[in-house]
């Protein structure tokens, strides 16, 4: 598990091999534009970011699929940590298009070829 400012698709592919060869779990602090990746469970990254001072309401879990880089399917907006009824997100999938766009923009700044 590590906080990244930049990460390559090649590195993500290597991380994915530790899971099922397909995905890399990531959490994003949308307020501070912090991305933590490569943990078995989203809550582990969430806890690390909370320890660093992030706010619970700003943390969202996603999955990255390195093989789908460059497509709309690269980022999956699903995680147990996304269940936030007080923020109008009652399920694991992030509903808000605005929030999805914000997360996608942060990921676009961090991930490179």
Closest residue by Cα to residue 56 from 83, 92, 26: 83
In this prediction, residues 68-93 reach a mean pLDDT of 97
6-64, pLDDT tens digit by residue? Answer: 999 999 999 999 877 799 999 999 999 999 999 999 999 999 999 999 999 999 999 99
Band the pLDDT of 5: cuts 50, 70, 90.
very high
Range of the domain at 6: 2-112
pTM for the model stands at 0.95
pLDDT of amino acid 17: 92
Number of domains in the chain: 1
């Amino acid at each position: 598990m590590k906080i990244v400012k930049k990460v390559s698709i090649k590195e993500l592919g290597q991380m994915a091999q530790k899971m099922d060869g397909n995905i890399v779990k990531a959490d994003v602090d949308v307020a501070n534009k912090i991305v933590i990746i490569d943990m078995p469970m989203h809550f582990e990254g969430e806890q690390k970011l909370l320890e660093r001072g992030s706010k619970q309401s700003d943390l969202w879990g996603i999955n990255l699929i390195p093989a789908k880089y460059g497509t709309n399917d690269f980022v999956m907006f699903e995680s147990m940590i996304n269940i936030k009824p007080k923020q109008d997100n009652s399920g694991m999938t992030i509903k808000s298009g605005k929030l999805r766009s914000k997360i996608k923009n942060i990921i676009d700044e961090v991930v490179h070829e």
